[in-house]
């Protein structure tokens, strides 16, 4: 893949893994673009970030358009944005973002489904009681949903103002 990101504005590029991880850990949803047979589709999903494995986990219903697209083409591009607001009288916007490419797959293995849900809950929830309640659900609970795994292949960060 040719590297275009921030070609004209290298001073805005975030190159430290710690900065990129911070944005992904703080974010609550990712906007994910997909394509099948030259037809584009975009979806916003809440996620949990597994920094050690550079992987995002999401969950969804057992059927739907995003699953149809993933079954056709697992290659996706996504972004997570931390919006810090418009800067009045400067015609500027303060933000940090990451754009990444990766493979998004439907998790089939029950153990990995539980791991993905745990990552998601730990990322989004604040109360230990809610996390424990969801983690202790029966195996049947996991059979009623899909867990999606997005393994990051390439990522670029940017800060704006």
Q: What does pLDDT average to over the chain?
A: 87
The three-class DSSP label of residue 105 is strand
Measured in whole angstroms, how far is the alpha carbon of residue 149 from the centre of its chain?
9
Q: Strand 39-46 relative to strand 48-50: parallel, antiparallel, unpaired?
A: unpaired
Q: Across 6-145, where does the E strand assignment appear?
A: 13-14, 29-36, 39-46, 48-50, 55-60, 75-87, 92-106
Closest by CA to 151, choosing from 42, 95, 70, is 70
pLDDT at 95: 75
Q: Which pTM value belongs to this model?
A: 0.86
Provide, for the chain, the percentages of residues in helix, strand and coil under a 3-state DSSP scheme, each rounded to the nearest 5: 30, 45, 25
pLDDT band for position 29 (50/70/90)? very high
**H or E segment to which residue 152 belongs:** strand 146-160
pLDDT in tens, 96-154: 889 999 999 999 999 999 999 999 998 988 777 766 676 667 788 888 889 999 999 99
pLDDT at 9: 56
For residues 134 and 50, the answer to whether their CB atoms sit within 8 Å is: no
Question: Mean pLDDT, to the nearest integer, of 19-45?
Answer: 96
């Amino acid at each position: 893949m040719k590297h275009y990101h921030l070609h004209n504005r290298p001073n805005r590029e975030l190159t430290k893994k710690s900065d990129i991880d911070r944005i992904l850990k703080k974010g609550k949803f990712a906007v994910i673009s997909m394509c099948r047979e030259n037809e584009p589709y975009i979806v916003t999903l809440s996620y949990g970030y597994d920094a050690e494995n550079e992987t995002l986990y999401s969950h969804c219903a057992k059927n739907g358009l995003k699953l149809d697209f993933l079954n056709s083409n697992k290659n996706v591009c996504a972004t997570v944005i931390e919006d810090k607001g418009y800067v009045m009288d400067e015609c500027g916007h303060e933000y940090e973002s990451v754009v990444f490419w990766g493979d998004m797959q439907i998790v089939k293995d029950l153990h990995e489904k539980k791991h993905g849900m745990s990552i998601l809950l730990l990322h989004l929830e604040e109360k230990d009681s809610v996390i424990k309640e969801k983690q202790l659900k029966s195996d049947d609970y996991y059979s009623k949903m899909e867990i999606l795994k997005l393994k990051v292949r390439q990522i670029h960060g940017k800060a704006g103002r």
